[in-house]
Structure 1
Amino acid sequence: MQAAARDARTAIVLFSGGQDSTACLAWALEHYARVETVGFDYGQRHRIELKCRSRVRAEMAASFPHWAERLGDDHLLNLALLGQISDTALTDQRAIELQANGLPNTFVPGRNLLFLTFSAALAYRRGASVLVGGMCETDYSGYPDCRDNTIKATQLALSLGLAMPMTIETPLMWLDKAQTWALAEALGGAVLTEIVINHTHTCYLGMRGKRHAWGHGCGSCPACRLRADGYTAWRRSVEP
Structure 2
Amino acid sequence: MTRADPSRNAALVLFSGGQDSATCLAWALDRYRRVETIGFAYGQRHGVEMQARTRVRAGVAERFPGWAEKLGPDTVVDLSGYGALAESALTAEREIEMGEKGLPTTFVPGRNLVFLTVAAAHAYRRAIPVLVGGMCETDYSGYPDCRRATIEAQEKAISLGLGEAMRIETPLMALDKAETWALADELGGKALVDLIVEESHTCYRGERGTRHAWGHGCGTCPACELRAAGWEKYLETAR
What TM-score bracket applies, with the shorter chain setting the length?
over 0.9
Residues 106-132 of structure 1: per-residue CA shift (max 9 Å, x gap): 000011000000000000111101000
The 1-side partners of 2:91 and 2:69 are apart by 36
Please list, as runs of the form range in 1=range in 2, the aligned pairs for 1:124-139 lying within 5 A after superposition: 124-139=124-139
- CA distance in 1: counterparts of 2:211 and 2:47, whole angstroms: 18
Q: Could you say if the C-alpha distance between residues 37 and 102 of structure 1 is closer, same or farther in structure 2, counting changes exceeding 3 Å?
A: same
Q: 5+ unaligned residues in a row in structure 2: which ranges?
A: none
Q: Which SS does the other structure have where 1:168 is aligned?
A: strand
1:209 maps onto 2:209 in alignment: yes
Aligned pair count? 239
CA shift for structure 1 position 225: 0.4
Question: TM-score, normalised to structure 1's length?
Answer: 0.96
Structure 1 stretches lacking a partner, 5+ long: none
Runs of 4 or more off by more than 3 Å in structure 1? 3-8
2:113 is aligned with 1:110: no
- The aligned counterpart of 1:35 is 35
Partner of 1:120: 120
SS, match of residue 91 in structure 1:
coil
Deviation at 1:54, TM superposition (A): 1.2
Amino acid at match of 1:92: A
Name the stretch that deviates more: 47-56 or 5-14.
5-14
RMSD of aligned Cα (Å): 1.6
CA–CA separation in structure 1 for the residues paired with 2:209 and 2:19: 17
Report the residue type matching 2:110 in the other structure.
G
SS at 2:202 equivalent:
coil
Q: Tell whether the 8 Å contact from 2:4 to 2:31 is kept in structure 1 after alignment.
A: no
2:94 is aligned with what amino acid? R
| 3-state SS, counterpart of residue 37 of structure 1 | strand
CA distance in 1, matches of 2:236, 2:7: 35
CA apart distance, 1:5: 7.4
- Identity over the aligned pairs, expressed in percent? 60
* Change in 2 beyond 3 A, CA 1:113/1:4: closer
| Aligned 8 A contact 2:8 2:130 in 1 | no
Q: CA deviation at 1:187?
A: 0.2
